[in-house]
Amino acid sequence: MACVSRVDGNAKPKSMSRAKQWTGEVENLYRFQQAGYRDELEYKQVKQVERIDRWPETGFVKKLQRRDNTFYYYNRKRECDDRDVHKVKVYTY
Amino acid sequence: MGAHPTVRAEEQQLRCVMLLAAVVGPPLAGAFRERPAKPTAFRKFYERGDFPIALEHDGKGNRIAWKVEIEKLDYHHYLPLFFDGLCETVHPYQFFARQGVHDMLEHGGAKILPVIPQLIIPIKNALNTRNRKVICTTLKVLQHLVVSADMVGEALVPYYRQILPILNIFKNMNINSGDGIDYSQQKRENIGDLIQETLEVFECYGGEDAFINIKYMVPTYESCLLK
């Protein structure tokens, strides 16, 4: 999994692999990639925000602003189906 | 000279048979006949570009991108318009209305409750189309509406007399497929089951008076809480 918290804000990923099974982290990566970002780190780099809107119960991403400044809203429950899990890219830094 | 009594009796018998043969049954009332909705305000506003939404095609299908944050929208203006679009059966209007309602209910919070009275007419219009897909979509939206915020279920109780009569007509629309499999059940497209589900949600979230009001409009409904 990508270790985002201790990485420098301008870091580039060293490698990429595909997710094998669904977890909460994979769900969030799926949501970031739907919006056109690699992961939370790139979103914070591009949008210059500190915090990301999340659902309090599940911790999943709730709202993201895309590069064209439109907004994607996500459900509080899981959106990434099992058939889409292998499409999620996991970056390591 | 008068006719022979036997001939007269035969003529009378023939006249009676002809009268009986002319009697036909009553015409169909058309309770289940679909009634297409008139052009909606949703379609008019969408074609004018008044909605802050755009259609995005991703690998999974379609998705809505909002040009304005939902939290900043005027719910009194937009939510009834999106509900009005539930009558639509054509793409992309149907998709935008359905997904727009879903997003606004998911992120509306306390802004939804004051708008409930304005949603009743669009809900009634959608149910009155008697279109199976529109009814299924509307029932799922009603379930979402009731759980979307506090007190919404109770706020809907006074309006049961306007939205439940149609459910009474379709409540027993379950296919008798013998020992076959009804896939519409697992896809949540079976109207009879959806109506039962919706009424149960109404009862769970409608407070103390919900059951009696539902029973008044749908007499065959049995409580899911008082068992």
Angle B160-B162-B163 from CA coordinates, rounded to 5°? 70
Contact A71 B103 (CB under 8 A): no
Look up tokens 């049954």; give the residue: B25
pLDDT score of B87: 92
Q: How far apart are CA B108 and CA B147, in angstroms?
A: 12
Residues in chain A with CB shorter than 8 Å from the CB of B107 are 62-63, 73
A75 compared with B182, residue with greater pLDDT: A75
Rg (CA), chain B: 25
pLDDT digit string, tens, across residues B1-28: 555 666 677 777 777 666 666 677 887 7
Q: How far apart are CA B49 and CA B40, in angstroms?
A: 15
DSSP state at residue A76:
S
Q: How far apart are CA B105 and CA B108, in angstroms?
A: 5
Asked if residue B93 lies in contact with residue B85, where contact means CB atoms within 8 angstroms, the answer is: yes
Contact A63 B69 (CB under 8 A): yes
Q: How far apart are CA B222 and CA B215, in angstroms?
A: 8
Q: How far is A6 from chain B (nearest CA, A)?
A: 31
Residue B97's pLDDT band (boundaries 50, 70, 90)? very high
Q: What is the mean pLDDT of residues B189-207?
A: 91
| Interface test with chain B among A73, A84, A88, by most B beta carbons within 10 Å | A73
Contact B106 A70 (CB under 8 A): no
Asked if residue A14 lies in contact with residue A38, where contact means CB atoms within 8 angstroms, the answer is: no
Q: Chain B: which residues have CB within 8 Å of chain A?
A: 54, 58-60, 63-70, 103, 106-107
From B82, B91, B8, B2, select the one nearest B50 (Cα to Cα). Answer: B82
Write the single-letter amino acid at B122. Answer: P
